[in-house]
Amino acid sequence: MEQRIMKLVASDMDGTLLGQDGRISKRNAEAIHALQNQGIRFVVCTGRAYEDAAVPMREQDIACDIICMNGAAVYDASGNQTAKRPLKTEQVRRIIESCKGDWSEVGFDFMTNYGSYTLSSREQFRDCFERGILLPMAGGITFSSISSRFQFVTEAELFAEDVEIFKASVVHENPFILEQIKTRLREDQHLAIAASHHTNLELTERGAQKGIALTKYAQMQGIRAREIMALGDSENDLSMLSLPLGYTIAMENAAEVVKQTARCQTRSNEADGVAYAIETMILSPEAQEQVS
């Protein structure tokens, strides 16, 4: 049997590492600590902004590098930004213009180096939140807590701000409307279009994708593709799960296209699927014997 020595495990967060409560389970945390104790790197690859990704990690005392906003920025374990790939101003303008036909119903989240901005009114934002359209995967979050993270601005105010926009999320409850917007945006060949749920589109600069960012990160660490395990559940994970890695793993709760792309499948995020994969394929005596 071919020996597979893993030197890096990369995991998505929502729907993968995190439970429905938005937290890392004890078993998942223990598996990550066990990896790190063996000198194996663990890195988060998430669509979340840095601080939203860092909070659950701190709760379980996990220090690791974070590839966030679908690869648009990378932070080290101390919270220092080590790489970035923001959207260009003209791309942000094109995104807004592409949504204007459905302006009254579309929600926005522009992730910047100074937190999140939205063009939605507070009333529209509340409506999206209460109907589960906004952040459908995040548990234990109130409207007050999430709205406090946003700055509510006009289009003119957004472009007047001295901020870098790393990722733009377009939110709508109608998949047909999102598909129309996606069709318009495909004209920009330098824009990457993904999704983490059927109610959103996640838009980044073409080079800011999880797979591209993970590849560059691994190269910087001197780690080869076959020495990497990656886990995910949604469309925005496809760019890393389609890479020729040692193990590509879909969660049991993953979208069907993700299951078809990944070469292995683990338990659901509610059943500690990340820990199960790490324990079975890296930490177990059987896995250890294969590389000894």
What CA–CA distance (Å, rounded) separates 101 from 136?
24
Q: Where are the domains of the chain?
A: 8-84+209-291, 89-205
Which pLDDT does position 47 carry in this prediction?
94
Tell me the per-residue pLDDT of 82-120, one tens digit each, with 9 for 90 and over. Answer: 999 999 999 999 999 998 875 557 889 999 988 999 998
8-84+209-291 folds as Rossmann fold (3.40.50)
Mean pLDDT computed over every residue of the chain:
92
Report helix angle 89-99 to 175-185, nearest 10. Answer: 140
pTM (predicted TM-score): 0.91
Strands 200-205 vs 165-171: parallel, antiparallel or unpaired: antiparallel
Mean pLDDT along residues 129-148: 74
CB neighbour class for 15 (10 Å; exposed up to 12, middle 13-18, buried from 19):
buried
| DSSP secondary structure code for residue 88 in this structure | P
What CA–CA distance (Å, rounded) separates 281 from 278?
5
Strands 150-152 vs 8-11: parallel, antiparallel or unpaired: unpaired
Residue 39 has which token pair? 């000198």
61: left (phi > 0), else alpha (psi -120 to 50), else beta?
left
Q: Which of 8, 166, 189, 10 is nearest to 86 (CA)?
A: 166
CATH class as words, domain 89-205:
alpha beta
Which pLDDT does position 1 carry in this prediction?
38
